[in-house]
Structure 1
Amino acid sequence: MERFDEMVGSGETAPVRVEVESKLLEDAIAEGLARLGISKEDANIEIIDEGKKGGFLGIGGKNAKVVVSRIRRPELMISEIIENLTLLLDESVKVVSVKFNAGRYYCEIDSENIAIVLGRRGKTLDALQILLSNILAKRLGERVRVTLDAAGFREKRKEVLVRIAREASKEAIRSVQRVHLEPMSAHDRKIIHAELANSKDVTTTSEDKGERRHIVISSANKSEGNDENLVISKAPRRRIPTRSASGRRPRTNRQERNDDNNQHSDIQKEPDNSEK
């Protein structure tokens, strides 16, 4: 654990604020900066007492006292943490940008081996984001919101999830069945919920726990439906009827509608024949 904290620069043992006394004000400031391992540009310096030179043999003198603290620069911390976190994973990882917008930090990284950084459906990237958030919170002393992206993966993944949400909702409405999506991360589930939040035709819930937690999309009109479940992994596909034991394909909805129309036409003609 100590080795990990040292590697990621968690700041667990590194002080963020020191109080220093010295005969000279300049010496007190220099010692404070040295203890924190930072430059003057990265520090807040509060002078508690400028000190006082004593008379003969220093009698009546007073030490200078200062408080030196780190200037909080989350952008620099994020870059440092990511570089250390990915050092063993992929040495080619580079931080492209760190921006702050609407209460959240956005960190974009790139790599020569982007597939390793992303992992299957972004699972490795999600894990890195969680570690980054936890370490940053420990260093800053408070929780901050961070989104970690790599080569524009988040936006592309969002487009896929929105398409899945829309197609699955259509399937739920058409079949009046509960549609189970594949297990997803909390980040991905949030996108699905948000996409269908304003729909009057379907509702979304999350079921199961851990790695099996997934979204279930249900038709809002349950009076005409049933409690059967339809499981789909991505976009719903049209189901092709299979042959029955007799070797014939089962009747389709279109064939049944055609039969109903034909029967209706026959019924309309019957009164004319009876009158004759």
Structure 2
Amino acid sequence: MDVVETEGENIDAAIDHALRLLGVPRDRVTIDILNEGRKGILGFGAQKAKVRAALRRASAEPRNAGSAGFSLPARATEDAPAVPEAADFAAVGEKARAVLEEILRHMGVTATVERRDAPASAEIVLEIKTAESGLVIGRKGQTLEALQYLVGRIASERQSNDGPHIVIDIENYRERRRKSLEDMALRLGEKAKRQRKTISVDALSAADRRIIHAVLQDDPWVTTRSLGQGSYRRLLIIPEGDRRTKEEIKTGAEEVSPARPQRRGAPSRGAPKPAKRDG
């Protein structure tokens, strides 16, 4: 037996297992890391580390080719899996449902979860049925968004966006939230144009900001910008007449619309006022 593949709780444990099977010290083998492994959450999503150990031969490369007989494979440590087939799609959906039920149980929420697959749109929708919807949704949907992100990461077990998208909903909250944001965007857009002042909206998730951007993108009299750092940035609704705000954010801003021509006879912003006459 010249080559073995072994698993362990971490890379060192997997290597030790391989050395025991081969009956040689570490400097007599080359090691390829097949999977670095990762810890799970609530028992889900855990992966063991996996390595391939091969005995060195007399014609093998000198030891300085690697570090103490340790070499990384030329390819990436984990190849991204292909888009799942129908069976894989269903398997991911069922795992997502089980993960969500387990998390809700740890939250102390009595609930059932219904799964609905939508392969055409590459979505798996998990509908939560519970009398404690307010607790599950959280302030401005923050808890629901966190659940969706966490379940999606655990269930799909992938870093890329090739797999199905997990959507978690409760009492049609997603649709109600979208409609509320669309109405708010139109209302604030009209207010910004009427007052000719920039309106700032704080603490919006990326998904919420995208809805407002989409609603106002075809309005030639306003421009929207996202500013700040972190998950919850400010969103600005800038009327065409507010050139000062545009200049302040022009550096690094996205999709700056051309400013409207200034009205004839209107004083330019920041222009010096005429001096008062004595007497």
Indicate the SS of the match to 1:158. helix
Query: Counterpart of 2:114 in 1: which secondary structure?
Result: strand
Name the CA distance, whole Å, in 2 between partners of 1:185 and 1:140: 21
What is the identity, as a one-letter code, of the residue corresponding to 1:117? V
Give the superposition deviation at 1:207: 0.8
Whether the aligned pair in 1 keeps the contact of 2:178 and 2:211 (CA below 8 Å) is yes
Report the alpha carbon displacement of residue 218 of structure 1 after superposing the two structures with TM.
Answer: 0.8
Pair 8,174 (structure 1): closer, same or farther in 2 beyond 3 Å: farther
Q: Distance in 2 between matches of 1:146 and 1:97?
A: 10
Deviation at 1:140, TM superposition (A): 9.3
* Compared CA separation, residues 191 and 165, structure 1 to 2 (3 A): same
User: How far is the alpha carbon of 1:167 from its aligned partner?
Assistant: 0.6
Q: 5 Å matches for 1:237-256?
A: none
Deviation, 1:166, is 0.5
Q: Give the distance between the partners of 1:187 and 1:8, measured in 2 at CA.
A: 29
What is the CA–CA distance in structure 2 between the aligned matches of 1:90 and 1:193, rounded to whole Å? Answer: 37
Aligned residue identity for 2:155: L
Q: Which runs of 5+ in 1 are unaligned?
A: 16-70, 229-276
Change (3 A) 1:105 1:144: same
For residues 3-32 of structure 1, give each alpha carbon's deviation from its aligned partner in whole angstroms, at most 9, with x where no partner exists: x726352152499xxxxxxxxxxxxxxxxx
Q: Matched residues in 1 for 2:198 and 2:239: separation?
A: 7
Aligned equivalents of 1:90 and 1:110: distance in 2?
14
Point out the structure with max Rg over C-alpha. Answer: 1
Higher helix share: 1
Match of 1:9 in 2: 44
- Report the alpha carbon displacement of residue 171 of structure 1 after superposing the two structures with TM: 1.0
Verify the 8 A CA contact 1:177 1:218 in the aligned structure 2.
yes
- For 2:100 and 2:48, locate their aligned partners in 1 and report how far apart those are by CA, in whole Å: 19
Over the residues paired in the alignment, what is the CA RMSD in angstroms?
A: 3.0
Aligned-partner Cα distance in 2 for 1:140–1:80: 20
Q: Distance in 2 between matches of 1:85 and 1:183?
A: 25
Structure 1 residues 6 and 173: alpha-carbon distance in aligned structure 2, compared to 1, 3 A threshold? closer
Q: 1:8 to 1:165 in 2, by over 3 A?
A: farther
Task: Determine the structure 2 residue equivalent to 1:78.
Answer: 96
Please identify runs of 4+ aligned residues in structure 1 that moved more than 6 A.
Answer: none
CA contact (8 A) 1:204 1:216 kept: yes
- Aligned length in residues: 171
Q: Secondary structure at the match of 1:75?
A: helix
Structure 2 residue ranges without an equivalent (≥5): 1-36, 51-86, 247-279
Correspondence for 2:122: 103
- 1: CA distance, partners of 2:46 / 2:158: 5
SS state of the match for residue 95, structure 1?
A: strand
CA drift of 1:139 comes to 6.2
